[in-house]
Structure formats: C-alpha cells, structure tokens
Amino acid sequence: MNNPVYTVSKKFRAGIIGATGMVGQRFITLLENHPYFETAGLAASGRSAGMTYGEAVEGRWKLDIPCPENIKKMVVHDASDVAGFAEGLDLVFCAVNMKKDEIKALEERYAKLECPVVSNNSAHRHTPDVPMVVPEINADHIRIIDAQRRRLGTQRGFIAVKSNCSLQSYVPALHPLMKYGIEKALVCTYQAISGAGKNFKDWPEMEHNIIPFIGGEEEKSEQEPLRIWGHIENGEIVKAEGPVITTQCIRVPVLDGHTAAVFVTFEEGKKPSKEEIIKVWREYSGVPQELKLPSAPEHFIQYLEDDNRPQVALDVNYENGFGVSMGRLREDTVFDYKFVGLSHNTVRGAAGGAVLTAELLTAKKYITAK
C-alpha cells in the first residue's frame, strides 16, 4: 500500500453487509491491516445471524486467500437489524443479494441512521443524488453528497456506489481519450464467473462452456458510463449525451478477470495517432494517485506491447488488482481503432473499487468518526 497524503489518527470502524458472499469475503481480505479502516462488524441474512463467521462460511469460503483468524471468531449480525448493526460503526460496505427495491430501502435505512454506505450493489446507481464513482475518473461527483444529505435529513449519513464490474475493462481506457471526441464505441465483454459470486465448484457447468447472456449487464454497460461522464446540476447528476456505446456481455470459463474487446470511432478530423493514445494511457492518473490513497495503483493503466497480452493468467493482478491493462491497439477497417482491455472484476470491479472510493471519501472528509 501507498504512504497516503491523508492519514487517520484512529481507524474507522467498518461493517460489511453481505459478509458471507464472495464480494463480502473480498472486502474482509482487503480491509485486513488497512490504514484507514478496521472490520468491526459482519452482517448477512437471518440464516447466518448468530453464528460465528467461521461457522457461517464453513465450506463456502471462495477465495484463494485464507480468512483471517480473528474474523472467523466474530459473530454475524442480521443485516435487517439496522439500528443494532449500525450502532458503533463509522461506515458500512454493502454487497447483498436481494431484490433491488429491498436493497434501496435497506441502504437508505443505514444512511438515515447516520451510517455512511459504500455500496457494491446496483440499486442506487441511478438515484439522481447518489454518486457512482470510479475514483480516477469522476471523483468530483462526491460533491453531490451534500444535496443527498439534505434530502435524507442527515449530517453524516449518505450512500455512494461503484459502477458495474464490466465497465472497468474499457471505461478507464476511453476516458482519457474523450478529449479527442469519441463518437461511438462497440464493446464485447468476456466476464469471469466470480462476477456472479461463484467459483467452478459452485458452477461446474461453466467448465468448457460459454454463456452468451448475462441478465441486465448490457444495459448497465451501455448506460452507466454516461452517468460517470455526467455533470452535477441542481442537486442531481445529469448523464452525458454521448458517446454512443453498444455492448455484448458474455460469461466465460474464467474465475477472475473481465476482458473487453473494444472498437472506437472519433469525431471527424479528431482521430489521434496510435502513439498518442498509448502515451495518454500510460501517463494518465487521477485524484487517488495525487492523494496516494492506500489502495490506489501507482500506474492506473498499463499498455502491453506483446500481441499475446493482456492475459488473465499474467495480468489480472496488475497493481494488486487495482490497475487495468490494455493491449492490441491497432487501426480497424470499420471503426478507427480496436484494442483489448482487462481488469480484476472482484478487486477493481467490486470490493476493491468500493474500498478505494471509501478511501477517497475519507480523505475528502465525507467519512468521519462518529
């Protein structure tokens, strides 16, 4: 981890809602020895409530990193007991498997009890005053929290969300090129099974298989970038009008790592050279790098010259899974350019992205001690 510009004298007490799931497990490992946060509470459905965490995940721990011993001894709370779980916590991370309207209501209940929520869920991604943040791209959107707090009637409480995991393999690459005027993009994503919260033990029929559909994924992949590129106006985030993005999202037999094949066309007369694009990618950095946030990759985007890269096996853990990898940039016969992107879907694309967002919110004083 970096030596951050912003430091804390005492770690903030963090709760994890949905702690027994795959993203919840990733939160646990990322918060171990974190300089800003300590895991102070674990919550899940009523089925696990009252068990120790070790009992609740016995035979269900999905990561190749072992569960910390101190976490195994913690008692799991019922996530629906909002007042009981939020008491004594400075913030919560949320990654639950529930109906969208139920998630929206649950997260608002926590926020209204003055407990900030940093969410991996999609439920609030289009709530007008909830920031959907990729910290290197639209860190300024966290300013909308002031308007959200007025609506909720809170002093500390708010909800911030991260974007869909699929976006991380192409939006970071497109964003620095927006200054050239992107007209349209076509993206095909090849998404790992951990994005569905599963491994091959849970989902053996995915071995040697491809499924050409992931429910709701294409709409998210086409619309969420426009919200990230939007602007704040009258207490709401207004989506950008373009560029036009069309996607196909495909489930592939890979455990971790979303790959994207990307095709892009620029406005007439604004097409950059291949060398310019690579230079822009390699030099790009954002607020997390400026603040040296603990989880921020030193180099957000790497470009790999080898035609056989990026590869999941070699590149998914670039910058501890917080960086993104690009390769195979070349001119196209239909679009201006095409390239391939790769990101770690449960680090940068899920729990890690939420932790980095929480670090940003802490450094900007939106998360404070109770």
Give catalytic residues, as residue numbers.
165, 258
Distance of CA 356 to the CA centre of its chain: 8
The single residue listed with the structure tokens 């939006």 is 171
The tokens describing 135, both together, are 């910290």
Residue 185 β-bridge partners: 245, 264
Helices assigned H by DSSP within 121-243:
135-138, 145-152, 171-174, 217-228
Q: Which positions ≥6 away from 55 have C-beta within 8 Å? A: none
Rg (CA), the chain: 20
The tokens describing 80, both together, are 């629906």
DSSP for 107-126, written as a single string: HHHHHHTT--EEE-SSTTTT
Half-sphere exposure of 345 (CA within 13 A, CB side): 25
Distance of CA 270 to the CA centre of its chain: 31
Q: What angle do CA 146, 148, 150 make, to 5 degrees?
A: 75
CB distance 191 to 249 below 8 Å: yes
Per-residue buried b or exposed e for 174-199, using 16+ beta carbons within 10 Å of the residue's own CB: bbbbeebbbbbbbbbbbbbbbbbbbb
Pick from 361, 352, 338: which is nearest to 22 by CA? 352
